[in-house]
Structure 1
Amino acid sequence: MRGLRRWWDDTAGGLPATFWYLWSGLLINRAGAFAMLFLSLYLTTARGASPSLAGLVVGAYGAGGAAGTLLGGVLADRWGRRSTLLAAHLAAAGLMVALAFSRHLAVIAVLAALVGVVHSMPSPAFVAAIVDVVPEARRSRAFNLQFWAFNLGMAVASLLAGVLAEASFLALFLVDAGATLAATVVIALKVPETLTRRPVTLRAVAGRRPGLHTALTDRTFLTFVGLTFLLAVLTMQTSTIMPLAMRDDGLRPTAYGVVVALGGALIVAGQLFVPRLIEPYRKSTVLAVSTGLMALGFAALTVADGLPLYLGAAVVWTVGQMLAAPPNAQINADLAPPELRARYQSVFYLTFPAASFAAPALGGLSLQHLGARHWLVVGALGLVAAAGHLLAGPPRERRIAELRAAAERAATVPAGR
């Protein structure tokens, strides 16, 4: 019992109540965010859209997501984390209801783009609020729990979506709206505004007037974003190129489902043990090792020709993903000046829609022309990212130390000056 209590303290102890309400809102939101998973199926079966038109509508959702990420970051820093979260969740619930009853494809396309905006807006605000309320020493475990909740919610969403889609597409959209409203209630009742107005200290560190352009011209931060983009390209292989490779190997879609389910099960079962495992090591070292594992897992697909080899490779790259999640999120938070915290998050989160475009667009060409050797290219990208983390680690740490020193000096400035 004592060992279990110690493990719990190491994994989730010492986190403030506001974090747990944010975590609960995130979990409810992700578990209920399933309607857009079946958008293309809904368009082709219930609305008579062609596959190409359905692809354009889904693409509009993705484009809206990129815009919503930046908008959410700016609003969260100017307007407040809580206000941004509430506005985005309320708008998402209303738009989902509108989608449920819309019949014209043009209207559905516009609504899908708007849903993409409001679905992406909360991400920078959620992370900025977590950084606001969680002490620095405990942020790694907080981000680990956030990653765990996100994957648990997605697993639940995938199961619920299949059941509801078979029963009624109308129910699919309305239950999604209801879950979003439930998350809104949790945030409205339990999450206070975490944004505090501080003296502007960034000029002492960056020499610029603070704004979104600061994040977009911060070389140390952008180097980290670029390395995260490579990691995201690797991760996106599982949902974009791997299904095609498995089909070419004569495997059925159910085999692909088994591989994806294994990765999700590993994360849900094992993610809570990660913080204690990686705590003794430098973050750059952990990221290098984790990215190297992902490179090894995907490179192994070069010789994969049956389900057992795909499952074994999935174990390797999933362990890499699990190790990468806490330090990746914490470095991102540490590199952001307090007054630009959400803006930096929004730029960081742009890596994922960018990777979701680059991975299938370039990966498809690579698989077509290189065949199984495509996976050697993917593995090489992972090794480049691993080496990049080792090289970029020392200057990142110096930059973080500068930001901490500036924040400490700002804390000594009398209020009102």
Structure 2
Amino acid sequence: MTHTDTPGDLQGDPRDARDSALRVPPTWREARDGARQAPATWRTLPGTVRILVIARAVNRLGAFTLSFLAVVLTVELGATVAQAGLVMAGFGVATIPSRMFGGHLADRLGRKRTIILGLTGCAVGQTWIALASTLWSAVMAAILLGLMFEIYEPPSQAVIADVTSPEDRPTAYGLLGAAMAAAAVAAGVLAAAVSHWDLRWLFAIDAASCSACALLLAIALPADRFSFQGKARVGRAEGWKDGRLLLLFAVGTVSATVFMALMLGLPLTLIERGLPSYSIGLILAISALVLVAAQPLQRTQRIRNLDNFQAMTLGYLLLTAGLVINAVATNLPVFIAAAVLWSIGDLFLLSRAFTIVAGIAPEHARGRYLAIYGLSWGIATAIAPLGATQLLTHAGPALLWLTCALAATALAALQPALRRRITPNI
């Protein structure tokens, strides 16, 4: 997308104009007369998207070792629990510059090279942990892994924007999110199955998974379509100067905090209400299945007629409904019903949010724009544990979920104003 659109470009049928994030050069489309394409499906999406989704799912399937890092540090290398906590915190802090580094490299070196670099770096970090014989060696390996861990996220998201039309991006981003969610659940099952092994072997398996993913993408992912080298030297901080992106970043941080509070608070709520320990695993598995099974909703005519902000409004309302049910639920079937609602809401929110951010970004800066937006999750990861646990401790689960529901309702109400603020400036 470029910033050369004129006000006249936004005239006509609002279903065709929609918002600025739906304005792209016609090179992404085969239709000669501008007619609306049939809804995208897994089979009709570009092969690049399918390759990327499969490779990322395989990589996520192997990413079950972080749960065992603290165990390796304490049992294998003699660290105290407090020291292990500090190492894990250091890993988390290192992932923040990792994402920004990935966004910068995506726009400077190209998407494919950056993805392969990040995956290869993760493989090196995992191998180092597997071979570490001292605590300090494992600490350095964990920090290296953190610095590599998020590098491939921005270029992966940018690749999807590069090869799809805006109308098809929600489907593509939704499929990526669904595949990652399903692989994460499968990774948990795999971790439980192999946890009786020597824990060092688990890190070796993850390193092999990263290496295999990097090799697959090196062979199968097409070369980058764009030349980034010259443009990347100009306006490196342009994303931080774009008021539209900063506004989306602020709203995204609130949204991510609600979802992180959901992930952290739900297990504690289930325990507080006397439900069995397997409940959270079951709910997360159902949530992942809903994300996969609900993909056809993205292709229905009614949903395709919504612009991105209208779809976000719908997503936040579904999230609100699920959160309110969490506040009053006392048995597993009701919690499952809530999970179905907030999972469908998640489907709309994540796919449309990335579509909007990719749409306002210049082609040569998409990696940086997506990296900046992705920092919202890092901030939420720091805020949500404190807020959720304090509310649970001092006010109980009901107030936690009603507070989150109020925030989601406010975000839904904000979408029309957000659309007016962002679209006229393109």
Q: Same fold (TM over 0.5)?
A: yes
Aligned position for 2:414:
388
Aligned 1:104-183 pairs, distance under 5 A: 104-183=134-213
Q: Among residues 333, 340, 343, which one is paired with 1:315 in the alignment?
A: 340
**Tell me, what secondary structure is at the counterpart of 2:123?**
helix
Q: Distance in 2 between matches of 1:397 and 1:306?
A: 44
**Tell me, what secondary structure is at the counterpart of 2:329?**
coil
- In the TM superposition, residue 195 of structure 1 has moved relative to its aligned partner by 5.0
Residues 328-369 of structure 1, C-alpha deviation per residue, up to 9 Å, x if partnerless? 221111011112110001101111111111111121112222
Aligned position for 1:297:
322
Q: Among residues 357, 362, 367, which one is paired with 1:332 in the alignment?
A: 357
- In the TM superposition, residue 246 of structure 1 has moved relative to its aligned partner by 2.1
Aligned position for 1:406:
none
Q: Among residues 259, 273, 278, which one is paired with 2:283 in the alignment?
A: 259
Q: Distance in 2 between matches of 1:332 and 1:294?
A: 21
Aligned position for 1:84:
114
**Tell me, what secondary structure is at the counterpart of 1:374?**
helix
Q: Distance in 2 between matches of 1:100 and 1:229?
A: 35
**Tell me, what secondary structure is at the counterpart of 1:129?**
helix
Residues 62-100 of structure 1, C-alpha deviation per residue, up to 9 Å, x if partnerless? 111111000000111111112111211112112111101
Q: Distance in 2 between matches of 1:124 and 1:112?
A: 21
Structure whose residues are more often helix by fraction: 1
Residues 91-150 of structure 1, C-alpha deviation per residue, up to 9 Å, x if partnerless? 211211110121322322221121122120000011112222223342222212211221
Q: Which runs of 5+ in 2 are unaligned?
A: 1-37
- CA change 1:105–1:305 in 2 (3 A) is farther
The residue type equivalent to 1:121 in the other structure is I
Structure 1 stretch displaced more, 35-44 or 67-76: 35-44
Aligned position for 1:353:
378
Q: Among residues 372, 391, 416, which one is paired with 1:366 in the alignment?
A: 391
Q: Distance in 2 between matches of 1:314 and 1:18?
A: 31
- In the TM superposition, residue 14 of structure 1 has moved relative to its aligned partner by 3.4
Would the aligned equivalents of 1:88 and 1:118 in 2 still touch at CA under 8 Å?
yes
Q: Which runs of 5+ in 1 are unaligned?
A: 1-7, 203-208, 403-417
Q: Distance in 2 between matches of 1:299 and 1:110?
A: 44
Would the aligned equivalents of 1:148 and 1:272 in 2 still touch at CA under 8 Å?
no
The residue type equivalent to 1:396 in the other structure is I
1:186 counterpart = 2:211: no
Aligned 1:25-104 pairs, distance under 5 A: 25-104=55-134
Q: Distance in 2 between matches of 1:114 and 1:361?
A: 27
1:245 counterpart = 2:275: no
Residues 161-186 of structure 1, C-alpha deviation per residue, up to 9 Å, x if partnerless? 22222223122111111111111111
Would the aligned equivalents of 1:40 and 1:54 in 2 still touch at CA under 8 Å?
yes
Q: How many matched pairs?
A: 387
Q: Distance in 1 between matches of 2:229 and 2:143?
A: 37
Structure 1 stretch displaced more, 180-189 or 215-224: 215-224
Identity of aligned residues (%): 26
Would the aligned equivalents of 1:129 and 1:195 in 2 still touch at CA under 8 Å?
no
The residue type equivalent to 2:197 in the other structure is A
Q: Distance in 2 between matches of 1:199 and 1:182?
A: 28
- CA change 1:47–1:265 in 2 (3 A) is farther
Structure 1 stretch displaced more, 92-101 or 143-152: 143-152
The residue type equivalent to 1:309 in the other structure is V
Q: Distance in 2 between matches of 1:332 and 1:344?
A: 7
The residue type equivalent to 2:373 in the other structure is F
TM-score, normalised with respect to structure 1: 0.86
Q: Distance in 2 between matches of 1:41 and 1:246?
A: 25
Structure 1 stretch displaced more, 245-254 or 143-152: 245-254
- CA change 1:309–1:101 in 2 (3 A) is same
TM-score, normalised with respect to structure 2: 0.85
CA RMSD of aligned residues (A): 2.3
- In the TM superposition, residue 44 of structure 1 has moved relative to its aligned partner by 3.7
Q: Among residues 368, 379, 395, which one is paired with 2:405 in the alignment?
A: 379
- CA change 1:293–1:41 in 2 (3 A) is farther
Q: Among residues 246, 249, 255, which one is paired with 1:222 in the alignment?
A: 246
